[in-house]
Structure 1
């Protein structure tokens, strides 16, 4: 499953596991970081800080940053999973818990399948996959019915699904461009594009500029999203895009919600009762059913 050519590789598994763990912790870090700072200012600080670190790493490892047309297009495509997807996640952070954000994002493989089936026409969905999708949707209904009135608002759900579309578009677009870039060059270029795009938001949110240092939780959230979510995860992500099928990368979202829900419960007091956990299991089983034929 992890290897595109059928052989098992410890390197692939280790990088895949690292990406899953970082992505599982990222929703909690986002919720913490926006607790006392306006979400879009958090986004700007994250990508400006991460792009500076990425450029330093690029210089240390003496990697080039190609500026030909194909490379520039690939940077823009990669930024759809950064400023594109994350913009809507940060906006959703005030409407959903970290665990529920991760659970919704776990549906990205299913959305990817629908895009391939109805739009790209490069994927045919069979009965078990449709059944898996139905089960996952029923599971979500159970979860959100249990969470009614508990930091769940429809606008948050809509924002997450817009983020999912951006994330999926990024995977397919980067894969299609197939620029001969190293992971660190691709990550740095995409971070720079994201940082420049985020700066365009300043005239619209200038009045919300932070006026004091936030608390410890917010600072930890900042540090995690800058170093781990934006640098390490992106290096893993762009390396895996070259090595694996898009569907295999999206499969990481089966495990991520469970870990994210546990982290949210332990570190942020986000509680789910037995019926909600039953809904979570339905979502996971539904996604696994979908993957039986991918």
Structure 2
């Protein structure tokens, strides 16, 4: 069951980038669409948690939820949704995979520690992958908006890294509250901020939202992308550990790259594919110690279970 849910989560997260692209191409204002997605998904999940008595509405009055919402939702998805007007969904997904690299650099800067040899090697490999990924766009058909879109996605991962580091403290501070409820509350704040930004920067028309592709994209992202995907993520954390579910970052971007090319006809160069794979390898090298510990732990648990039988 754990393995099946893990594969389902990777598939869900891998499809969200294409779903965003489909909605934007259908004419949905990107920031407004993102705002509706996270406000609706967060609101439904919070109501569910309150009904199960695993959270209280007073959670929304805590400043920690607002700050986490800026880092994990608003700061990440405002740049991503804007960027996917000019980037393919596959390129956006691969650039989003740089999040662990950003987290490592931020944690190292905060702790004022030197990077380990494997972490340094992973950073260099990941950086080389980013260069390879962007190279075709820079040399073949240079576009300022394309380049700005790439920078925007990378900027979003800086917000994500800060939000992740901060949210770990928040989870420890709210140990009596379900992580699903904490995530729901921060999504609601992020959604409100996205809608506020949309109000001042976009011209929203109802007919654009009711277009079949736009409506289906939004419903998919609310129900499958945000509600189902994140619920499975936190279920896996409860059943395994925090490291294992996070390895979706090694798989989902490549799923997104393939889906964009096969289902949506997105052009992907060989150099960009190689760059994407190089980024994933860099992220794996960075987290090599954690992955080794995870493998050894799983082997130990299987051995104990066998001895018990």
Distance 1:20 1:221 in 2: 18
> Any stretches of 5+ residues in structure 1 without a counterpart?
1-9
Q: For residue 62 of structure 2, what is the aligned residue in structure 1?
A: 72
Specify which of 262, 269, 280 is matched with residue 273 of structure 1: 269
Paired residues in the alignment total 281
**3-state SS of 2:86 partner:** coil
Q: TM-score, normalised by structure 1?
A: 0.82
Deviation at 1:14, TM superposition (A): 4.7
Q: For residue 146 of structure 2, what is the aligned residue in structure 1?
A: 153
Specify which of 248, 256, 261 is matched with residue 260 of structure 1: 256
**3-state SS of 1:86 partner:** helix
Does the C-alpha gap of structure 1 residues 238 and 124 become closer, same or farther in structure 2, counting only changes over 3 Å?
farther
Does the C-alpha gap of structure 1 residues 207 and 62 become closer, same or farther in structure 2, counting only changes over 3 Å?
same
Deviation at 1:188, TM superposition (A): 2.7
Q: For residue 23 of structure 1, what is the aligned residue in structure 2?
A: 13
Query: Given the alignment of the two structures, is residue 109 of structure 1 paired with residue 84 of structure 2, yes or no?
Result: no
Deviation at 1:249, TM superposition (A): 5.3
Does the C-alpha gap of structure 1 residues 41 and 119 become closer, same or farther in structure 2, counting only changes over 3 Å?
same
Distance 1:251 1:150 in 2: 33
Distance 2:154 2:19 in 1: 20
Q: For residue 169 of structure 1, what is the aligned residue in structure 2?
A: 162
Query: Given the alignment of the two structures, is residue 208 of structure 1 paired with residue 199 of structure 2, yes or no?
Result: no
Query: 1:177-201, CA deviations, whole angstroms, 9 ceiling, x for partnerless residues?
Result: 2212113322332233223323423
Deviation at 1:26, TM superposition (A): 1.0
Aligned positions of 1:1-294 closer than 5 A: 11=2, 13-35=3-25, 36-58=27-49, 60-65=51-56, 67=58, 72-79=62-69, 80-121=71-112, 124-147=114-137, 148-149=140-141, 153-177=146-170, 178=172, 179-180=174-175, 181-205=177-201, 207-238=203-234, 244-245=241-242, 250-294=246-290
Deviation at 1:225, TM superposition (A): 1.1
Does the C-alpha gap of structure 1 residues 257 and 163 become closer, same or farther in structure 2, counting only changes over 3 Å?
same
Moved more, 195-204 or 255-264: 195-204
Distance 1:102 1:115 in 2: 21
Deviation at 1:224, TM superposition (A): 1.5
Query: 1:150-174, CA deviations, whole angstroms, 9 ceiling, x for partnerless residues?
Result: 8772211221122112222222212
Distance 1:59 1:291 in 2: 36
**3-state SS of 2:251 partner:** helix
Query: 1:184-235, CA deviations, whole angstroms, 9 ceiling, x for partnerless residues?
Result: 3223322332233234235404633444445433222111111122212233
Deviation at 1:62, TM superposition (A): 4.5
Would you tell me which structure has more helix in proportion to its own residues? Answer: 2
**3-state SS of 1:153 partner:** helix
Does the C-alpha gap of structure 1 residues 202 and 39 become closer, same or farther in structure 2, counting only changes over 3 Å?
closer
Q: Which has the larger Rg? A: 2
Does the C-alpha gap of structure 1 residues 217 and 134 become closer, same or farther in structure 2, counting only changes over 3 Å?
same
Q: For residue 6 of structure 1, what is the aligned residue in structure 2?
A: none
Does the C-alpha gap of structure 1 residues 273 and 201 become closer, same or farther in structure 2, counting only changes over 3 Å?
closer
Does the C-alpha gap of structure 1 residues 56 and 293 become closer, same or farther in structure 2, counting only changes over 3 Å?
closer
